[in-house]
C-alpha cells in the first residue's frame, strides 16, 4: 500500500474529485483528514465509506479561503494522526457562476480568485511547515487554465492558470527540502460541477469531440493524483498533468 502509515490532508475532499481522492488515498493506507465546506451530507457519506472499508479518516468543516479555518484543519489532523503531514491535495475550488466581463463585478472576481487560488496558497503554506523530505503536494488546476475555459469562465480560468504557475513556483522553492509539488489539469470530468454549470448539449458535444468519445470520471483523476503523490513519481516536480482524453494537448 503506497501510503501506508502516511498522513494525507485533502481540501474539498467530500464529493466528486475530492471524494474519489479521499477514498483512493485511504484505500492505499493513508490516514486522511478530509475537509469540506458546504455539502455535509456528501462529506459524511465519504467518511462513512472510508471507515466501512477499514480506512482511517477525519472529517473537518472549514472555509479554505480563511486562514483560521485552514489552521484548524491541520490542527485537527495533528490531534488525530500526529503533527506530520506527508501529502496535501488541494481540491477546493469552483466556478461559482458563469459570467461575462460585463456581468462580473469586483466582489465576484475576488471570490473566484480566493476560492481557487488563495485556498491553495493558504493550505500549501500550512502544509509545507509540517512536511519533511518525501512530502508531496498535488493541486487541482484545470484545462481551463490552459485554454481560457468556456463561456463565462474567464475568472475561473484565470485562477486555475495561476494555480499552475504557483505549482511551478512551489516546485522550485520546496524542492530543495525534498517536497515535490505537482498539479493535475482535468478536462471534462463527470461531476456536479458540470451538472450545475454546463449545459447538457455542450457536455455531449465536448465528449463527442474527445478522441476517447466520453467524459472522464472522478476516479480517473484520483488515480493520477495518487500517482503524483506517491514515490512512484519521485522525480516529477512542477508538472501540470493533463487529464482530458486527448481534447487538448499542452
List active site positions: 156
What is the spatial distance between Cα 243 and Cα 234, in angstroms, rounded to a whole number?
Answer: 20
Q: Which residues contact 31 (CB under 8 A, 6 or more apart)?
A: 6, 7, 8, 56, 57, 58, 80, 81
Closest CA to 9 of 54, 75, 68: 75
Distance CA 56, CA 173 (A): 31
Strand order in the sheet with 87-90: 56-61, 31-36, 7-11, 87-90, 136-140, 180-186, 240-243
Say if residues 57 and 22 touch (Cβ distance below 8 Å).
yes
Amino acid at each position: 500500500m503506497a501510503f501506508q502509515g502516511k498522513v494525507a490532508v485533502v481540501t474539498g475532499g467530500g464529493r466528486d474529485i475530492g471524494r474519489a481522492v479521499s477514498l483512493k488515498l485511504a484505500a492505499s493506507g493513508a490516514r486522511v483528514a478530509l475537509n469540506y465546506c458546504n455539502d455535509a451530507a456528501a462529506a459524511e457519506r465519504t467518511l462513512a465509506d472510508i471507515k466501512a472499508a477499514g480506512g482511517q479518516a477525519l472529517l473537518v468543516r472549514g472555509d479554505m479561503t480563511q486562514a483560521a479555518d485552514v489552521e484548524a484543519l491541520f490542527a485537527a489532523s495533528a490531534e488525530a494522526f500526529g503533527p506530520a503531514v506527508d501529502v496535501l491535495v488541494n481540491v477546493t475550488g469552483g466556478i461559482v457562476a458563469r459570467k461575462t466581463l460585463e456581468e462580473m463585478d469586483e466582489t465576484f472576481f475576488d471570490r473566484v480568485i480566493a476560492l481557487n487560488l488563495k485556498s491553495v496558497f493558504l493550505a500549501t503554506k500550512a502544509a509545507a511547515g509540517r512536511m519533511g523530505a518525501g512530502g508531496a503536494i498535488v493541486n487541482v488546476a484545470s484545462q481551463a487554465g490552459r485554454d481560457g475555459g468556456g463561456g463565462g469562465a474567464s475568472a475561473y480560468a484565470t485562477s486555475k492558470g495561476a494555480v499552475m504557475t504557483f505549482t511551478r513556483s512551489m516546485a522550485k522553492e520546496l524542492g530543495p527540502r525534498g517536497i515535490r509539488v505537482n498539479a493535475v489539469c482535468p478536462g471534462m470530468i463527470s461531476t456536479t460541477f458540470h451538472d450545475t454549470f454546463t449545459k447538457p448539449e455542450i457536455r455531449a458535444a465536448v465528449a463527442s469531440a474527445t478522441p476517447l468519445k466520453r467524459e472522464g470520471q472522478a476516479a480517473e483523476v484520483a488515480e493520477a493524483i495518487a500517482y503524483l503523490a506517491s514515490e512512484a513519481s519521485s522525480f516529477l516536480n512542477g508538472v501540470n498533468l493533463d487529464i482530458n482524453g486527448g481534447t487538448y494537448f499542452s
